[in-house]
Amino acid sequence: MSGIAIDAPGTSQLFIGNEAIARGALEAGVGFAAAYPGTPSSEIIGSLAQVAKEAGIYVEWSVNEIVALEAAAGASFAGIRALAAMKQNGVNVASDFLANLVMSGTGRGGLLLIHCDDPSAISSSNEQDTRPIAKWLDIPLVEPGDFQEAKDMTKWLFDLSEELGTICLLRSVTRIAHARGNVKLGELPKVKPKAYFDQTHDLKNVMPTKYIPVPSPVRHFFQHMKLNRAREKFEIAPFNRYVGPQNPELLLITCGSCWLYSLDAVKALKLEDRVGILKLGTIWPLPEKFLEQYVTKAPKILFVEEIDPFLEQSVMELIAGLTSLDHYPVFYGKRSGHLNAYGELNPDMVIKAISNILGLTYQPRPVEYSSQAESFRKSHVPERSMTFCPGCPHRATFWAIKNALKLDGRNGFVTGDIGCYSMAIGPAGFFQVRTMHCMGAGAGIANGLGRLGQFGFDQPVLAVVGDSTFYHATIPALVNGIYNQSNFILVILDNSATAMTGFQPHPGTGITAMGEPTKVVSMEALCRSLGARVEVCDPFDLKATTATLLDMMTEGGGAKVIIMRRECELVRSKKQDAPYKVYVDQDKCIGEDCGCDRLCTRVFLCPGLVWDKKAGKSRIDEVICAGCGVCADICPRGAIVKEAR
């Protein structure tokens, strides 16, 4: 249970950044919050949903990010403070509405878009810096540098959004969103707002309501005036600060998680008297006068920020226009190659960059220890590749797909997208997935491939999507495939949860974010209504699943749908004990002498199956085995035994 609604002002709690943002929203009196789950943003809505009833607010998992933002805007238009939260890719999905919303302005209720970037793409299909969207679409943007700020900034930003009548952006990254730290709580509001859509406004003779983004040039000009007012607020905001000597040899300009890395680096190098850190919390528009005070005093400037050189380019542009400077400082950062313009940073990278610039050496541990440790790592630490969990239905699905494609014999293949099942690009899913892009992309790509018959293309194409992804991003691609008669099979991996992001419910589960029962949007009924052949399989029944796949591939024709239905093992195991006790009959398993060439441990690769070197046979690791029993059906000698518990 999330502790974000604790009514204990002044006490310190240990929150992840996302919980701190959610708490800030509660303290600001948020009434409406919507999102589609996406790591590293999911816990904002997850934690708000847990306390929604006691806090008297409305929280939903929307079907995708653009609907989440549109729904939140609806609440803002009716005077309710609202937020939409998403990961970096979600901003792309929501950006069309966002670009229009900037022109129309928001309602009486403040409106925030909270976007969490994933530098290094730790849980993403790509890495991308979403800060430039603020410059691109003219939207005020702030970014917290620690957990306390994540809370305080969220509250502060609601006031700003309401005052200016514009949506505001709060950007966070994985190492704030998903890291934990101290947060001192503030007061929770006691007054509940009333929702009302006000249809009158001062330009009534020109436009029927306020919320229309035309005439666009006029609206665009208004937005620039709002940005200028935001800049004035940013000049005196409590989130920009400087630490260090009055005239530093080197000035670091930083934001977000890099603020803490910069502090760590300067401390580790004991350079507190020589190096200054200018930390920005208000990122766009830049607080120009505030910056000017510091950039004019340092002969060298290092920009410490993650992914794009956003501050680097914006501050250099600002300095280029300063008339008070008689000579420019030397700039270091991504342009100079001292820090990467890709991947996440960490304190060691900042230590290295500063050491390079100032000509220092840094040695955290004795050289002999380092070389010994490195050689032990090489000799004694085997790789540990990611894999599907023991008992995961996806392993069985990809096993069936692999065998069906082989039996079909036409060199068929799988297109995919992002989800747990992306692991099928590697050994966990037998290298079956050949393309992996944004949500739903596999189905879109299959639409193109499935129309290439006139060019001699006859390879079967299977597009895999998760159940939550089906509702989010696949329905238009399926409609397109049926309308344009593209030849592919949509494989929906229905594990009854948005598993990769933390098992959130979706329209097929019959439950809402706030835990209320609701109508199930049946994926098979929906697909059948479109005119597709639809089959539903249990992937644990390998034989039937393989046969159905093969039959659908042989049939050809337009787009078809096969639903692989089996609950996520991590969800199932919370409710029930393992269905089977599984063991390897040591008399039946003949190990290396069997013609199977260690099919179970070498190819099937469930971590619950291990190779006993001494015995030269397979064995079940009872600590790992989930008791699904699927491996009993792949052993050609029937040596793996499953006994119902």
Q: Does 26 bind other proteins (CB under 8 A)?
A: no
Contact 493, 393 (CB under 8 A): yes
Residue 349 beta carbon to other proteins: minimum distance, rounded to whole angstroms? 10
- Give 60's strand partners: 34
Helix (H) or strand (E) holding 219: helix 216-235
Residue 211: phi and psi, rounded to 5, are: -90, 50
Q: Does 25 bind other proteins (CB under 8 A)?
A: no
Point out which span in 21-29, 258-266, 326-334, 555-563 binds other proteins (CB under 8 A).
Answer: 258-266
Contact 577, 550 (CB under 8 A): no
For the chain, what is the radius of gyration of the CA atoms? 28
Task: Select from 99, 179, 212, 521 the one that contacts other proteins (CB under 8 A).
Answer: 179
Tell me, rounded to whole angstroms, the distance of Cα 86 from its chain centroid: 7
Residue 350: phi and psi, rounded to 5, are: -70, -40
Residue 510: phi and psi, rounded to 5, are: 75, 20
Tokens matching residue 461: 């194409």
Residue 127 beta carbon to other proteins: minimum distance, rounded to whole angstroms? 13
- Give 282's strand partners: 142
Restricting to residues 486-545, which ones interact with other proteins according to CB under 8 A?
Answer: 500
Task: Select from 70, 92, 99, 123 the one that contacts other proteins (CB under 8 A).
Answer: 123
Task: Select from 200, 246, 379, 454 the one that contacts other proteins (CB under 8 A).
Answer: 379
Task: Select from 113, 428, 446, 463 the one that contacts other proteins (CB under 8 A).
Answer: 428
Task: Select from 62, 174, 486, 548 the one that contacts other proteins (CB under 8 A).
Answer: 174
Q: Does 386 bind other proteins (CB under 8 A)?
A: yes
Task: Select from 341, 452, 536, 624 the one that contacts other proteins (CB under 8 A).
Answer: 624
Point out which span in 231-239, 282-290, 558-566, 616-624 binds other proteins (CB under 8 A).
Answer: 616-624
Task: Select from 154, 257, 495, 548 the one that contacts other proteins (CB under 8 A).
Answer: 257
Residue 464: phi and psi, rounded to 5, are: -95, 140
Q: Does 376 bind other proteins (CB under 8 A)?
A: yes
Q: Does 186 bind other proteins (CB under 8 A)?
A: no
Q: Does 175 bind other proteins (CB under 8 A)?
A: yes
Residue 104 beta carbon to other proteins: minimum distance, rounded to whole angstroms? 36
Restricting to residues 317-356, which ones interact with other proteins according to CB under 8 A?
Answer: 346-348, 351
Q: Is residue 640 helix, strand or coil?
A: strand
Angle between helices 17-27 and 147-164 in degrees, nearest 10 = 40
Angle between helices 216-235 and 88-104 in degrees, nearest 10 = 110
In 489-522, which positions are buried (b, 16+ CB within 10 angstroms) versus exposed (e)?
bbbbbbbbbbbbbebbbbbbbeebbbeeeeeeee
Residue 537 beta carbon to other proteins: minimum distance, rounded to whole angstroms? 23
Cβ-based neighbour number of residue 208 at 10 Å: 12
Q: Which residues bind other proteins (CB under 8 A)?
A: 12-14, 39-40, 122-123, 146-148, 174-175, 178-182, 257, 260-261, 263-264, 268, 346-348, 351, 364-366, 369-370, 372-374, 376-377, 379-389, 420, 422-423, 427-428, 500, 598, 601-603, 605, 607, 609-611, 621, 623-624
